[in-house]
Amino acid sequence: MLSDDSLVKQFDSRRGEDFGADKYEYLPDIIYEPTRIYRDDKKRKIYLTKQIKESWYFTVIKYLEKNNELYLESYRRTDEKKMNSTLKKYIRLK
């Protein structure tokens, strides 16, 4: 689920970047067939990555226990070096 607040935050944080609405068509592929999956039990988050058309995409899914719901917290394009540096502190599942 992508909340209205998250959607506004996503578009605001991508202002000036070449990251248009067309990049959101990759989300189903990233969510259902990620290249890598990481878990952070403390923050109740899952990190999904996938390389698409020579670019790496990084998605953060947050679990809200009280509502038993999943939310897309962040979605961005990244490079492999930054991604690996960020994810090394989490548990790799795939």
Total domain count for the chain? 1
pLDDT at position 13 is 57
Q: Which residue range(s) make up the domain with 44? A: 4-92
pLDDT at position 24 is 83
pLDDT tens across 5-55, in order? 655 565 555 555 666 778 888 999 999 999 999 999 999 999 999 999 899
pLDDT tens across 60-70, in order? 999 988 989 99
Q: Do 93 and 61 touch, CB atoms closer than 8 A?
A: no
pLDDT at position 10 is 58
